[in-house]
Amino acid sequence: MSKQTLIVIGNGMVGHHFLEQFTRTPAAERFEILVFGEEKQLAYDRVHLSEYFAGSSHAELAMATADWYADNHIELRLNEPVTAVDRDNHIVTTPKGAYQYDELVLATGSYPFVPPIDGKDDANCFVYRTLADLDAIRASAAEARTGVVVGGGLLGLEAANALRSLGLQAHVVEFAPRLMPVQLDGDGGDLLRQKIEALGVQVHTEKATTAIVPGDAARLRMKFADDSHLDTDLIVFSAGIRPQDTLARACGLEVGERGGIVIDNRCTTSDPHIHAIGECALWNQRIFGLVAPGYTMARTLAAALNSDPQGAFSGADMSTKLKLLGVDVGSIGDAHGQTPGARNIRFHDEQAGHYRRMVVSQDGKTLLGAILVGDNSHYDTLLQYALNGITLPPNPEILILPEHQGGAPGLGADALPETASICSCHNVTKGDICGAIDAGCTDLGGVKAETKASTGCGGCAALLKKVVDSELEKRGVAVSTDLCEHFPYTRQELFHLVRVNGIRTFRGLLRQYGKGQGCDICKPTVGSILASCWNEHILATEHVPLQDTNDTFMANMQKNGTYSIVPRIPGGEITPDKLIVLGEVAKQYNLYTKITGGQRVDLFGATLSELPEIWEQLIAAGFETGHAYGKSLRTVKSCVGSTWCRYGVQDSVAMAIYLENRYKGLRAPHKIKMAVSGCTRECAEAQSKDIGVIATDKGWNLYVCGNGGMRPRHADLFATDLTDDQLIRAIDRVLMLYVRTADRLQRTSVWMENLEGGLDYLKQVVLEDSLGIGEELEQHMADLVGSYQCEWKTAVEDPEKRKRFREFVNAPSLKDPVQQWTSERGQRRPELEVASL
Amino acid sequence: MTTKTCWEAVCTVDDLVADCGIAVWTEDGPVAVFYLPHRLPALFAVSHTDPFTGSNVLARGITGDLDGEPVVASPLYKQHFSLRSGVCLEDASVRVRSYPVLLDGDRIRLAVPVRQPAAVAA
Ligand code: SRM
Ligand SMILES: Cc1cc2nc3c(=O)[nH]c(=O)nc-3n(C[C@H](O)[C@H](O)[C@H](O)COP(=O)(O)OP(=O)(O)OC[C@H]3O[C@@H](n4cnc5c(N)ncnc54)[C@H](O)[C@@H]3O)c2cc1C
Ligand code: SF4
Ligand code: FES
């Protein structure tokens, strides 16, 4: 059987993509393929056209090579435009000949619209679509100083940036009152304009060009309808695109009122042997001026030519996310709120230069569209909501509010796009996690083993668990809130059981309420609960096996197995004598010394056996443990306050020292940090702490539930102008409630966010005592404060406890041979390379 | 050289800490000895070297059981190792050496390979 002939007119992005797809299908065997291109060059990436000015060559932008065409037996005739189609006889004509076809594909793209203005054909007027256009612009720009782009849309702004990159003073002239009128609204357009003007591109809106004439100060003068004018050396028209349907019109194919070759869901035109794809095609009265819908059409047609019923073209999303002249711009769906009943939520920060608008349905449940200018970080999430019709949260504004105003992170794992990065150490996305679950992982451990997520720094553990839980739930797998396989209870329930039943050991709890031997999840959790309830020494014989290594040895383990030592320096205040002791000890044991971010000193590189010796010296000098290892109070940072600072209104150092001494040693679900500032200038950064205190001229303002770290959150103002006593009482209650009810490894911020009723509820319980437990909480705290002991002091005095600090019990004088040292900036540091995790 | 096993005495019961590990130095390098009094047998010994970092720390991990298997969690990055086989539960291709261990009076003995010069053939 002799082969049929398939002719493709147009060798642009979509035409080429079609060939790539089609040649892989069985039907390709039945056809000789012949391609005509008007341009001189083989299909190239038009989306990245501007990179041509930045130095990319055609070869770099090209989508394939001549060899690829030859290998696939495709005859490619470049620089040979088709001038006519004879549908009756199935013949296309070019200046060089006439060719017979059986099936014809039109992939002729679009052409830039140039408004009918006198003078538009001047040698220094251009469009911005092809490599040839860019060559011409570059030649003209060589002798020019200024350039104007007519049209302030997406492509116009890109062209303006190109002119700027060619060293011209660039102007944008727009007919509409604002930039990007299709994608943006007034406020968005105004903000974009400000940003672009700040970059040195001048924007002229509401200007209708009436004529182009020779200029005075430059080659050309643009005259505007309002009698003003602008002199420029060259002009680029970018006033929109029109589908290239000339051939189709001439041969009588059905075209749209405003242009475009009409196609059906299979990309076939009104002639069953002629098909159209890409920007020249009109589907459902719509033109798609983006490449992705064109590619979808290309795949649809390749399938259709194989009589494959799959994948009818069903439209495409036109949402866009761009960086224009370095400015983030995003537009999603019904950005202008044209859906009947649509409502708007806007966030506009003129200071930061961020504008965000959400268009939501009348019932407030679905996101119809959105506009973003200045910051696209919300784009992915919003797009997910809009594309998938995900029901919006009851307070949808959180999706566009900045985080410190209660924004975005309140989102469930559900709303995260598949592409969201969950674990940055191992580059694991939500999609990877879903994949692992679909491949058979049914719990967190399985997902971790499969994807490696959360096996690096571990910082992503909470988020990973959220995503895994929500994905498992979605698949109908019951998600257990059990602490682990040994205890079918939550931390909060266990806390209650321990307290109410007076249970004092892990074994006791395990016997009554658990099974098996325990693990590294439940042991430290129960250890912390026991400490919060009864405050016995963490190295008491029955508690030792419960502690994480850092607690067991009351120091933080470093990557080579040595430890760091952080003595408490309450409020950051230290005498010269104590500083000297730190220096002497560090010198004696050759410890790397560093000032921490928490206003104290960290001494690194002590071996296990050195720890008690070092602490003996530190304790003798009046130091106590700093609990840098514990899930407990870390530091209370202070500013200098009223004793020295000219602005201070209260003694912030004294208060910080008081707080640090009061709450030191308090074991909690996670670490707790505090700070006290002496006035509203806030030098102690109290608003980034779990407990933040800021002096007022009447007393203290209390802030709660802030933190830095992985997901920073500003603390919330909790109560104002408190006396010292009121302040302490409020902090006692907040902390005790947190200790009793939070989940393991949950910091105060997440705890509060997950409390039903949130901040208001917390205020009721603490300030109004709505549950009537205020006194009990205070009493519990008083017991803990009263039973404080410096863990290190007790440990060094007890020979039994000291026995634990032998590196090798049978070789006391042996130094661990893997601990190799080198020196850096005059101090010692481990040489050990950490093997891949 | 040939390798032969010997029962090396490494410590006494007094050195053990219930539900915890201790580290000893042997002919075969650093070994972690665990004492889990609520199991039978109650003694386990695996290499003290964390294979993921090369640091000698495994004796300082938290012990327990997962699905009935006695394990220790590395204190550095928390992978679990079976105390019986030394296999890593998160990545079965990784394992630490495990050693037979026995109680002899109040002494703990480990079966460790000892390198000895080969007998010279006559
Ligand atoms: C030493 C220090 C860095 C420094 O040289 O400045 C430090 C070092 C460590 N930080 Fe930190 N953090 C230090 C201040 C901070 C701060 C800043 C601050 O406190 O003002 C933050 C952000 C503020 C916050 O926590 O809200 C901070 C956020 C973290 C986090 C993330 C917490 C979060 O909620 O996202 C971790 C991981 C964790 O705790 O799970 C962490 C964990 C760690 C650990 C304990 C990691 C570990 O387990 O090995 C580091 C070991 C310290 C050591 O070996 O002694 N460190 N860390 C700082 C000690 C302060 C102190 O005197 O106690
Ligand atoms: C500067 C610039 C930036 C862009 N940025 C983006 C972006 O960020 N994102 C995005 O999605 N899209 C972008 N686009 C749009 C994207 O390039 C187009 O959607 C895509 O190129 C359309 O592909 P096509 O094959 O339909 O048309 P084209 O790529 O234009 O190809 C059509 C080809 O057909 C040829 N032709 C026309 N008539 C004939 C004839 N009679 N005979 C022979 N050959 C003929 C033309 O010369 C042309 O080579 C951008 C476009 C430009 C110009
Ligand atoms: S917060 Fe106020 S009192 Fe404290 S140091 Fe800063 S300016 Fe001074
Ligand atoms: S971010 Fe996942 S382990 Fe570090």
One domain, residues A512 and A598: no
**A189 and A149 in a common domain:** yes
Report how far residue A558's alpha carbon sits from residue A542's, in angstroms, rounded to the nearest whole number. Answer: 26
B117 in reach of chain A (CB within 8 A): no
Q: How many domains does chain A have?
A: 7
State residue A455's pLDDT score. 66
Same domain, A726 and A645: yes
Measured by CA distance, the residue closest to atom 4 of ligand 4 is: A457
Beta strands in A584-658 (DSSP E): 592-595, 601-606, 633-638
What is the pTM (predicted TM-score) of this model? 0.55
Please give the pLDDT value at position A318: 76
In angstroms, the Cα distances linking A351 to A241, A357, A358 are 36, 17, 20
Q: What is the CATH number of the domain that holds A132?
A: 3.50.50.60
Q: What is the pLDDT of residues A657-668, one digit of tens each?
A: 999 999 999 999
pLDDT at A682: 95
Q: What is the mean pLDDT of residues A274-292?
A: 92
Give a yes or no: residue A485 inside a domain.
no
| A280 and A192 fall within a common domain | no
Q: Is the same domain home to A715 and A783?
A: yes
Residues A207 and A121 in one domain: yes
Q: How far is CA B108 from CA A383, A527, B37, in A?
A: 64, 29, 14
Under the banding of pLDDT at 50, 70 and 90, the label for residue A746 is: very high
Q: From A186, A208, A239, give the residue that closes a domain.
A: A239
**CA atoms of A664 and A286, how far apart (whole Å):** 67
Residue in the structure block whose two tokens are 């040698």: A123
CATH number at A590 reads: 3.30.70
Residues A402 and A523 in one domain: no
Check pLDDT > 60 for residue A82: yes
- Nearest CA owner, ligand 1 atom 16: A597
- Integer Cα distance of A347 and A334 in angstroms: 17
Tell me how far CA of residue A680 lies from CA of A335, A655, A656, in angstroms. 41, 16, 16
Q: Among residues of chain A, what percentage have pLDDT more than 90?
A: 65
Q: Is A549 on the interface with B (CB under 8 A)?
A: yes
Residue A837 has pLDDT above 50, yes or no: no
Tell whether the model's pLDDT for residue B120 goes beyond 50: no
* Position A538 confidence tier, pLDDT thresholds 50, 70, 90: confident
**Domain for residue A13, yes or no?**
yes
Domain extents in chain B: 17-99
Exposure of A107 in the CB half-sphere (CA atoms within 13 A): 30
Q: What confidence category does residue A182 fall into, taking pLDDT thresholds of 50, 70 and 90?
A: confident
Q: Which of A92-96, A260-264, B53-57 has the lowest mean pLDDT?
A: B53-57
Confidence class of residue A406 from pLDDT cuts 50, 70 and 90? low
Cα A194 to chain centroid, rounded: 26
Same domain for A500 and A359 = no
- Judged by its nearest atom, the ligand closest to the C-alpha of residue A629 is 1
Please answer whether residues A275 and A263 qualify as being in contact, where contact means their C-beta atoms are separated by less than 8 angstroms.
yes
Which of residues A323 and B87 earns the better pLDDT score?
B87
Ligand 1 pocket, Cβ-based, cut-off 6 angstroms: A 556, 558, 564, 566, 594, 596-598, 600, 602, 628, 634-635, 671, 673, 707-710, 747
Residues 6+ apart with CB under 8 A from A785: A662, A663
Q: Which residue has the higher pLDDT, A340 or A814?
A: A340
β-pairing, A633-638 vs A672-677, is parallel
A691-711 pLDDT per residue, tens: 999 999 999 999 999 999 888
Q: What is the pLDDT of residues A206-231, one digit of tens each?
A: 999 999 999 998 999 999 999 999 99
CA–CA distances in Å: residue A658 to residues A325, A385, A767: 53, 49, 22
Asked, for residue A835, whether it belongs to a domain, the answer is: no
Which chain A residues are Cβ-neighbours of B73 within 8 angstroms? 519-520
Pull the structure tokens for residue A474.
Answer: 């979605």
Q: Do A560 and B55 touch (CB under 8 A)?
A: yes
Q: Is the distance from the beta carbon of residue A109 to the nearest atom of ligand 2 less than 6 Å? A: yes
Q: Helices marked H in A621-670 — which ranges?
A: 652-663
Residue A372 domain flag: yes
A452 lines ligand 4 (CB under 6 A): no
pLDDT at position B118 is 47
Supply A475's token pair: 């698949």
pLDDT digits (tens, 9 = 90+) for A556-606: 998 888 999 999 999 999 999 999 999 999 999 999 999 999 999 999 999
Whether residue A143 is predicted with pLDDT greater than 60 in this model: the reply is: yes
- Provide the mean pLDDT of chain A: 90
Q: Does A422 sit in the ligand 4 pocket, CB within 6 Å?
A: no
Read off the amino acid at residue A11. Answer: N
Chain B residue nearest residue A456, CA to CA = B77
What's the rounded Cα separation, in Å, for the pair A480 and A473? 10
- CA-based nearest residue in chain A for residue B10: A810
Q: Are residues A796 and A785 in the same domain?
A: no
Asked if A599 has any chain B CB less than 8 Å from its own CB, the reply is no
B55 to A519: CB separation less than 8 angstroms, yes or no? no
**Residue B63, Cβ density class (10 Å: 0-12 exposed, 13-18 middle, ≥19 buried):** buried
Q: A508 in a domain, yes or no?
A: yes
Q: Residues of A numbered 512-541 whose beta carbons fall under 8 angstroms of chain B's beta carbons: which are they?
A: 516-520, 522-524, 541
Q: How far is CA B74 from the centre of its chain?
A: 13
Confirm whether A313 is domain-assigned: no
- Which residue range forms the structural domain that includes residue A533? 491-537
What is the end-to-end Cα distance of chain A in Å, rounded?
61
d(CA A363, CA A341): 9
Q: Considering CB atoms only, which of A485, A559, A814 is closest to B53?
A: A559
Task: Report how far ligand 3's centroid is from the alpha carbon of A638 (Å).
Answer: 9
* Percentage of residues in chain A having pLDDT higher than 70: 95
Of A368, A385, A411, the residue at which a domain comes to its end is A411
Ligand 4 atom closest to A458 (CA): 3
Q: Which residue ranges of A are tagged as binding site? A: 639, 645, 679, 683
Contacting residues of B for A808, CB less than 8 Å apart: 23-25, 30
Determine whether A103 is exposed, middle or buried from the number of CB atoms within 10 Å of its CB (0-12, 13-18, 19+). Answer: buried
DSSP-derived 3-state class of residue A98:
strand
| Backbone φ/ψ region at A516: left (φ over 0), alpha (ψ -120 to 50), beta | left
- 8 Å CB contact of A449 and B73: no
- Identify the nearest ligand to the CA of A458 by its number: 4
Specify whether A647 is located in the same domain as A761. Answer: yes
Q: State how far the Cα of B83 lies from the Cα of B19, in Å rounded to an integer.
A: 12
Residue A238 is predicted with a pLDDT of 95
CA A379/CA A82 separation, integer angstroms: 42
Ligand having the closest approach to the CA of A324: 2
User: What band does A820 get if pLDDT is binned at 50, 70 and 90?
Assistant: confident
User: Which residues, in sequence order, are CB contacts of A776 under 8 Å at separation 6+?
Assistant: none
CA gap A28, A30 in Å, rounded: 5
The radius of gyration computed from the CA coordinates of chain A, to the nearest angstrom, equals 35
Q: What's B17-99's CATH class? A: mainly beta
Q: From A454, A480, A506, give the residue that closes a domain.
A: A480
pLDDT digits (tens, 9 = 90+) for A322-335: 777 778 888 988 99
Tokens of A180: 């990007």
- For residue B26, what is the nearest residue in chain A, using CA coordinates? A810
A454 pocket-lining for ligand 4 (C-beta < 6 Å): yes
Residues A129 and A217 both lie in one domain:
yes
Mutate to test the pocket of ligand 2, among A19, A104, A182, A279 (most ligand atoms within 8 A of CB): A279
Q: Are A298 and A278 in contact (CB under 8 A)?
A: yes
Two structure tokens written together for A734: 């907040």
**Atom 56 of ligand 1, nearest CA residue:** A709
Residues A782 and A797 in one domain: no
Answer yes or no: is pLDDT of A460 > 80. no
Which residue of chain B has the CA closest to A454?
B77
